[in-house]
Structure 1
Amino acid sequence: MKKVLDFPYSNILVLGLAKSGTAVANLLLNHDKRVRINDMKTEKNDPIIKELRNLGAEVVVGSHPLSVLDGIEIIVKNPGIHYDNPIIVEARKRNIPVITEVEIAYMLAGDSIIGITGSNGKTTTTTLITKMLEESRRPVKVAGNIGVVACEVAENLEDEETLVLELSSFQLQGVEKFKPNIAVLLNIFEAHIDYHKTFDNYKQAKFNIFRNQTKEDFLVYNADDTIITSEVKNLKSTLVPFSIKNKMENGAWLDDTFIYFKNEKIISRNEIVLVGDHNLENILAAVAAAKLKGATNEGIIKVLTTFQGVRHRLQFVDNIHGRLFYNDSKATNILATQKALSSFEKPVILLAGGLDRGNEFDDLAPYLKNVKAMVVFGQTKDKLRRIAEENGISTILQVEDVKEAVSKAFEISNEKDVILLSPACASWDQYRTFEERGDMFIQAVHKLV
């Protein structure tokens, strides 16, 4: 296991606290680095600030003065801070490198990393790989965009352990030498343009997951995604494709009956309990990555015959008087909601809405054929109402929040209906996180009982 002392910088600016900034600041301070912290939102009397100062940090809160760059060799940036932040713009003028904390996690964990990214399916695939290795008695830890700070886990990683990392484009844009031994690239479609400014910038951030790989490393990639296949042709990585359309001699694939890895039957499709055709892609990617890391077929089968989904990602919540409630709060974009709607043949009451990023929802239209009613909320409620009306959905209710949406959906539902929260929008207009939004949905469903 590598040590953070290999980090070739002594004067570091940690820009933005929250979980990742606090974790990386603590780690660097504990290894005798000189750390300056700059955060806009944290109050100066916050206990975290006092604790960091006691460890030796210099802390500037409440504003972003350019003077925080004086004497700084590198910035470790919170992934949520945009690259048009004045501090970042000035740092680039001064040729100061800007990284995210996953770069430091790599310095700690080295070739022990399986990294997973994509526009959709990251959390499900990350969870599947972790559980498959666990059930195969392979020592493993999980971190990253899934909710646990990567460098915090990497610091305590044992030599024989694998670190499974869910990686967002925000994290991957800030890497230099980061190189997972096994990279998993699920899909690419236009997303987070408000952050990355262009689709090409977004793609290039995602492609950083394999940029530094060598022939000793593996790239598990979606062979059905033309954006990805056009990019991976000339890589040094050992390519391991997966496909739900074609046989993959060197990867994961399926037919009408079985899931395969290379030419080995892994599991009958009828035994898999995770719903949704889109999850077949996640399953194939997970099988490929887990097999490359030594997972057993028995371990993989145990997971796929019991795992019903990640919390907030097409999560079955309850059956109340024959109504099936699903929480897909993590569907923060249109593609995620398309995939959720494609998972059901029964009549659906769709609960949708949230932060308005300027886009319309016309791409949802082909997926609304089983939607009998929509309950809309948030900043995008008028846009969603329009697309519902244009597609012949006669029952459209406008409500204040997710809690009210649950009760109204239940009132208009019939037995065998699916009541689906799949917002197609980020949560930040009303909720701090998609988890908070999903938890409100779950609580409201349970109160119906």
Structure 2
Amino acid sequence: MRLVILGGGESGVGTAILGKKKGFDVFLSDAGKIKSNYKEVLAINKISFEEGQHTEDLILNADMVMKSPGIPDKSPIVKKLLDAGVEVISEIEFAFEYTQAETVGITGSNGKTTTTMLTHYLLRQGGQNVGLAGNIGKSFAWQVAENKAEGYVLELSSFQLDGIKKYRPHIAVITNISPDHLDRYEYNFDLYIAAKFRITANQTADDYLIYDADDETINAWLEKNKEKVKAQLIPFSLSGATKKGIYVKDNTIISKIKKHEFTMPINELSLEGKHNVKNAMAATAVAQLKKIRKQTIRESLSNFQGVEHRLEKVLKIQNVQYINDSKATNINSTFYALDSMNTPTVWIVGGVDKGNDYHELMPMVREKVKGIIALGVDNAKIIEAFANVVDVLVETTSMDEAVKIANKIAEKGDTVLLSPACASFDLFENYEDRGRQFKEAVQNL
């Protein structure tokens, strides 16, 4: 069986290792450059590969193709494979075939990284041997090849879910759904929603779907597609009591899952902000289903340290707080960030726009933002949206300059917030690179 892998990043190399171990004839192809550490791994494992091109003769003869999530379905090589009837799947689908371990699959437009890391932390603190994979950490396929974990917590993007046929998480979580990545879904929100709900497509009555009951998009889809969902539903909500699941009452999280009541005052959570209350509720639901002790859940929720590049407090300089929220690559994430600001804010925004409607942020900007620094190659939409709303709007194409300007605008008691609402590829390698450059620039002030 010939397994061809498109993309030589974390998921591609992980799949190559697992494929080789399972006896496939493996070939990896990347249209760009492969990082030197990955090339070393491929060489050590005697896996043939190419970079800088896709040689059709070596790809179209595949029995199966694993496509990395970053490669769109409309790329020419993928179209040719699909036209030739070759099966094209995701790393998650490929690796799932080779493990008996239970998985918790977590998706959503926002909050999925925090929820995934918090869930993993709760289960580890409870003594469970679980791996962390998907969009974060070492690839799922790589970990399945090493076969050291008894379960996995997977952060799953819509792109990863697009390539699944049989993958079935025992526990699925949908944190929320808002327009994102619409450039990959023909600018059709319904296609993106359907991609997210693929997470529950193969679930049975023995499985669980945990979801945000306050999210109108999720509720509307569930209402319309009742017969498609076989899993047991566990809602979480900030408002009022749900008959089952988790809700907030009197500033306390109350969870009634499997007849076990768990309570925790919101002010004891280590993570701040309404959105993090929801992330904590989702993670708590998983932990309770996995039979983690209440005391362990409580302790873990109160000492979890959060995620780098997500509302990360960097430094306070002359009583100005600098916050790195580089992971906010869409409008909804930035809405949460601005919502959690309690002081006048200098906002650094911009990058590669994925079809953003900035007007959704207007109430927040009017209330919280004193100055905007547009950091991107093309800032036209940002200027058009906010030029008449704030007193100061400055354009720049360098992080160093953006932070220096922010430092000039900010006064004692203010906050400087990097929350771009955009992808990073115009000026940076990725959102991590953008966040690190911000932190370095702040430290150099």
TM range (shorter): over 0.9
Of 225-234 and 432-441, more deviation after overlay is shown by 225-234
Match of 1:387? Answer: 385
**Structure 2 residue aligned with 1:223, among 210, 213, 216?**
213
Matched, 1:404 2:398: no
Matched, 1:177 2:174: no
- Relative distance call for 1:12 and 1:269 in structure 2 (3 A) is same
- Relative distance call for 1:109 and 1:261 in structure 2 (3 A) is farther
Q: Do the aligned partners of 1:133 and 1:299 also contact (CA within 8 Å) in 2?
A: no
Q: Do the aligned partners of 2:182 and 2:354 also contact (CA within 8 Å) in 1?
A: no
Give the superposition deviation at 1:345. 2.3
SS at match of 1:155: helix
Q: Do the aligned partners of 2:68 and 2:90 also contact (CA within 8 Å) in 1?
A: yes
Q: Do the aligned partners of 2:325 and 2:419 also contact (CA within 8 Å) in 1?
A: yes
Matched, 1:191 2:180: yes
Match of 2:320? Answer: 323
- Relative distance call for 1:397 and 1:51 in structure 2 (3 A) is closer
**Structure 2 residue aligned with 1:107, among 97, 110, 123?**
97
Quote the Cα distance in structure 2 between the aligned partners of 1:352 and 1:177. 39
Of 399-408 and 238-247, more deviation after overlay is shown by 399-408
The percent of aligned pairs where both chains have the same amino acid is 37
Q: TM-score by structure 2 length? A: 0.92
Partner amino acid, structure 1, of 2:166: K
- Relative distance call for 1:46 and 1:307 in structure 2 (3 A) is closer
- Relative distance call for 1:51 and 1:419 in structure 2 (3 A) is closer
Q: TM-score by structure 1 length? A: 0.92
CA deviation digits over 1:267-307, x for unaligned, max 9?
Answer: 11121231111112111111111111122222222222223
Alignment of 1:48-63 (within 5 A): 52=42, 55-63=45-53
Give the superposition deviation at 1:265. 3.7
Matched, 1:164 2:184: no
CA deviation digits over 1:362-392, x for unaligned, max 9?
Answer: 222121111111111103423223322232x
Of 342-351 and 395-404, more deviation after overlay is shown by 395-404
**Structure 2 residue aligned with 1:237, among 231, 234, 241?**
231
SS at match of 1:390: coil
Of 87-96 and 376-385, more deviation after overlay is shown by 376-385
SS at match of 1:273: coil
What is the root-mean-square deviation of aligned Cα atoms in Å? Answer: 2.1
**Structure 2 residue aligned with 1:24, among 15, 20, 23?**
15
Unaligned runs of 5+ in 1: 1-9
Partner amino acid, structure 1, of 2:93: E
Matched, 1:250 2:244: yes
What is the aligned length?
A: 436
Alignment of 1:194-213 (within 5 A): 194-197=183-186, 198-213=188-203
Match of 1:132? Answer: 122
Match of 2:368? Answer: 370
Match of 2:286? Answer: 289
Match of 2:275? Answer: 278
Q: Do the aligned partners of 2:108 and 2:177 also contact (CA within 8 Å) in 1?
A: yes
SS at match of 2:235: strand
- Relative distance call for 1:46 and 1:274 in structure 2 (3 A) is closer
Quote the Cα distance in structure 1 between the aligned partners of 2:276 and 2:50. 45
**Structure 2 residue aligned with 1:119, among 109, 118, 127?**
109
Quote the Cα distance in structure 2 between the aligned partners of 1:384 and 1:110. 48
Give the superposition deviation at 1:117. 0.3
SS at match of 1:305: helix
Of 362-371 and 101-110, more deviation after overlay is shown by 101-110
Matched, 1:40 2:31: yes
**Structure 2 residue aligned with 1:89, among 56, 79, 85?**
79
Matched, 1:310 2:307: yes
Quote the Cα distance in structure 2 between the aligned partners of 1:274 and 1:201. 32
